[in-house]
Amino acid sequence: MFEKALKGNNYYWMWLAFLGFIIAVGGISYLRQFFYGLAITGMSRDVSWGLYISQFTFLVGVAAGGVMLVLPYYIHNYKAFGRITILGEFLAIAALLMCMMFIMVDLGQPLRALNVMLHPTPHSMLFWDMCVLLGYLFLNILCGWVILTAERKQVAPPKWIYFFVYVSIPFAISIHTVTAMLYCGLPGRHFWLSAIIAPRFLASAFAAGPALIVIMALILKRVANFDAGKEAIDKMVTIIIYAAIANMFFLALEFFVGFYSQIPGHTHTLQYLFSGLDHHGHVYNNLVPFMWAFLILFVIGIALISYPATRKGSDLWLGLGCASIFIAFWLDKGIGFVLGGFVPSPINEITEYYPHLNELLITAGVWAAGFFVLTILYKIAIGVEHEIEA
Amino acid sequence: MDQKRRTFLKVAGISTLAGLGAATGVGRLIGGAESAMAAAEEAQVNASAQNGTGQNAACGDACINRYGMLIDARKFREDPTLGERVVLACHREHNVPNIPIKKDEIKWIWMTHYDNAFPEQANLYRDEVNAQFQLPILCNHCDNPPCVRVCPTQATFRNADGIVMMDYHRCIGCRFCMAGCPYGSRSFNWSDPRPYIDSADMNRDFPTRTRGVVEKCNFCDERIRKGLLPACVEACGDSKAMVFGNLNDPNSEIRQMLKQHHTVQRNPSLGTLPSVFYIV
Ligand code: SF4
Ligand code: SF4
Ligand code: SF4
């Protein structure tokens, strides 16, 4: 089926070349980091995880978000999702590849990464995260490929594949739950030490993942003559609205617990993120603009995708609404959550994080690599669709 | 092989066997580092000290030693130069690089204010003494160490004698342990540390590290095995500003001092059971 990725119009090749260029820049930047060390990042003794791990955390959510198509289609037999379920599965593959790349570029000794398998350590959540991420990647490749092949031959998919499809559903939940457990089990990090982190991660994932799929479906409608169907899009938007509101509800609960109990440890990071934290007379507020952008984009996005005129009236408004939600939750989880958790440090010092240019280029490179894979996978999926129709 | 080393190996060996046999899957999962409620049961420890085999959860059957440290902050106030000497002694002994860039710095022991060492003890009306003076902080060699629990490769592990150790050759540099340590005890080699080590001062008997691994105080494991005191304790001379010893031996100096003085541990509410105690 790969031959489908080799035939495309000029725009297709230009897009791939553009991504390829960013990948190349990211690759060179990575070589620089590989030979010099992580000192050419903004990370420090106090903020020991930066953009890489925060992108990883967000993208695990994007990968898990695909389950919002798989579950209704396979469990509830919701036929309208038939055409786009494959988009969810392939998005999961691309997102998981990005996750793994982000982990690799974050390691101080990437050549020793296999130590995690050579010395399996069940009391480390990172070990389990690796297990479920690899498992979910395998399941999505297997299910996506087998089902697409069957579709192409216009036969029903083999019965055994449904076993793996059903297994992939709890796996999707588990990848984000275990990723939340990386954070929420650490003593002394008050912002992360909250039982609601896992549900909050899932809620934001089930909004951000489908939002990206809707955007993709709208783009594919224009550039690849692929119509996901009005009903499917509409149902997805409903899912996004509920999940997005659930995320905000959980966030509001964090605010309540922090500011009603008035326990300093529970309020410091929230203050740092949303209003700035006063520390020995200096106000630290590096991330405040990002967090307010998150709130504003959420309001704009939810308005655009809820108000009937913009939701049903025009693809452009709908797309912008979904993009707002996606970016809002990226700011929330892909910036604020991880970076904010390190402030203040356990010894009550504040170090702010400013990403290094090299780090930004590597981050862009990994995103570009993910979209490169995604483009090729979608090209194949849509090629097959067109072949059946023809 | 000298006697100390043999005892050490014996303890380590027995504990490994016990650990393999006794630890259940669930116990390993939630327990992380098999934890010892050290010195919790005085009677039990007394008994074990007498017959030489400690009944201690940390090491299954035999746990003769559990090392600990007592830091007398008063002494550091009396002699303001002592802090610097202590830090220097450690960093020289262990080839800790002196990196001028703040974000990349590496430190095993350092002087800090009371408010930073004990942030949960904030006081609206700070006494002058604590506002002004500093005390040393280092890895607590927690009896229930979160850093060991989170490490995905066991590059951070807990010795049978309670020392939390690093394997610089296994560490993948994921820095999970840095997020997990609630005391900020760990440093990462953001770049090659060797250019920042003064070669004239270098200790050829101790390894230097490569870039991309985490490091921290090792309670001078390499010195204890030779029967020496930790370098920082040695630098205090006879001042008794730092006392090092076996917490499992009720007759040890450190246990006697713990009995006689009111001491505190850093953030004990987290359940990490630090092995470093302070008189403030
Ligand atoms: S102080 Fe930190 S590094 Fe040291 S044993 Fe405790 S958790 Fe681990
Ligand atoms: S950085 Fe090294 S010691 Fe720390 S958790 Fe990762 S592998 Fe373990
Ligand atoms: S015990 Fe040893 S390694 Fe730890 S701070 Fe003292 S001198 Fe340094």
Domain boundaries, chain A: 2-389
Ligand 2: which of B174, B181, B210, B218 to mutate, most ligand atoms within 8 Å of CB? B174
Q: Among the CATH numbers 3.40.190.10, 1.10.287.370, 3.40.630.30, 3.30.70.20, which is that of B62-145+170-279? A: 3.30.70.20
The fold adopted by the segment(s) A2-389 is: Formate dehydrogenase/DMSO reductase fold (1.20.1630)
Q: Residues of B with CB below 8 A from A351's CB? A: 102-103
Query: Is the minimum CB–CB distance between A348 and chain B shorter than 8 Å?
Result: yes
Residue B23: both structure tokens together: 């630890």
How many CB pairs lie under 8 A apart between chains A and B?
157
Measured between CA atoms, the residue of chain A closest to residue B186 is A45
Q: For residues A168 and A70, what is the distance between their CA atoms, to the nearest angstrom?
A: 9
Res. A294: pLDDT tops 90: yes
Give the orientation angle of helix A357-389 with respect to helix A85-106, to 10 degrees: 160
Instruction: With cut-offs at 50, 70 and 90, classify the pLDDT of residue B4.
Output: very low
Instruction: With cut-offs at 50, 70 and 90, classify the pLDDT of residue A352.
Output: very high
Residues in chain B: 280
Ligand 1 binding pocket, CB closer than 6 Å: B 139-142, 145-147, 164, 181, 183, 185-186, 216, 272
Res. A138: pLDDT tops 80: yes
Q: For residues B136 and B46, what is the distance between their CA atoms, to the nearest angstrom?
A: 31
Q: Nearest bound ligand to CA B212?
A: 2
Mean pLDDT of A222-247: 93
Give chain A as a 3 state SS string: CHHHHHCCCHHHHHHHHHHHHHHHHHHHHHHHHHHHCHHHCCCCCCCCCCHHHHHHHHHHHHHHHCHHHHHHHHCCCCHHHHHCHHHHHHHHHHHHHHHHHHHHHHCCCHHHCCHHHHCCCCCCHHHHHHHHHHHHHHHHHHHHHHHHHHHHCCCCCCCHHHHHHHHHHHHHHHHHHHHHHHHHCCCCCCCCCCCCHHHHHHHHHHHHHHHHHHHHHHHHHHHCCCCCCHHHHHHHHHHHHHHHHHHHHHHHHHHHHHHHHCCHHHHHHHHHHHCCEEECCEEECCCHHHHHHHHHHHHHHHHHHHCHHHHHHCHHHHHHHHHHHHHHHHHHHHHHHHHHCCCCCCCCCCCCCCCCHHHHHHHHHHHHHHHHHHHHHHHHHHHHHHHHHC
Given an 8 Å threshold on Cβ–Cβ distance, is B150 in contact with A130? Answer: no
Residue of minimum CA distance from atom 4 in ligand 1: B139
Q: Which of A381-390, B132-141, B153-162 comes out lowest in average pLDDT?
A: A381-390
- Residue B163: the pLDDT is 95
- A interface mutation test: which of B30, B102, B103 has the most A CBs within 10 A? B103
Given an 8 Å threshold on Cβ–Cβ distance, is B182 in contact with A187? Answer: yes
DSSP-assigned letter for residue B264: B
Torsion B194-B195-B197-B203 (CA) sign: positive
Mean pLDDT of A128-149: 94
Q: State what percent of residues in chain A have pLDDT above 70.
A: 100
Q: Which of A109, A116, A122 is closest, CB to CB, to B28?
A: A122
Residues of chain B with CATH 3.30.70.20: 62-145+170-279
Q: Give the residue, A120 or A83, on which the prediction is more confident.
A: A120
Residue of minimum CA distance from atom 1 in ligand 3: B219
Could you tell me which residues come within 8 angstroms of residue A218 by beta carbon, excluding any fewer than 6 positions away?
A233, A315, A318, A319, A322
Q: Which of A44, A116, A346 is closest, CB to CB, to B172?
A: A116
Residue of minimum CA distance from atom 8 in ligand 2: B151
Q: For residues B197 and B101, what is the distance between their CA atoms, to the nearest angstrom?
A: 14
Given an 8 Å threshold on Cβ–Cβ distance, is B152 in contact with A348? Answer: no
Mean pLDDT of B71-75: 94
Tokens 């067109």, located at residue: A386
Measured between CA atoms, how close is A112 to chain B, in angstroms? Answer: 6
The answer to whether the complex's ipTM is over 0.90 is: yes
Q: Residues of B with CB below 8 A from A130's CB? A: 152
Ligand 3: which of B95, B205, B217 to mutate, most ligand atoms within 8 Å of CB? B217
- A interface mutation test: which of B26, B190, B266 has the most A CBs within 10 A? B190
Q: Residues of A with CB below 8 A from B171's CB? A: 108-109, 112
- Residue B12: the pLDDT is 42
Q: Which of A70-79, A260-269, B4-13, B187-196 comes out lowest in average pLDDT?
A: B4-13
Res. B100: pLDDT tops 70: yes
HSE-up of residue B43 (Cα within 13 Å, Cβ side): 0
Q: Which of B119, B172, B214 is closest, CB to CB, to A112?
A: B172
Measured between CA atoms, how close is B50 to chain A, in angstroms? Answer: 34
- Residue B54: the pLDDT is 34
Given an 8 Å threshold on Cβ–Cβ distance, is B189 in contact with A125? Answer: no
Query: Is the minimum CB–CB distance between A345 and chain B shorter than 8 Å?
Result: yes
DSSP-assigned letter for residue B222: H
pTM, rounded to two decimals? 0.89
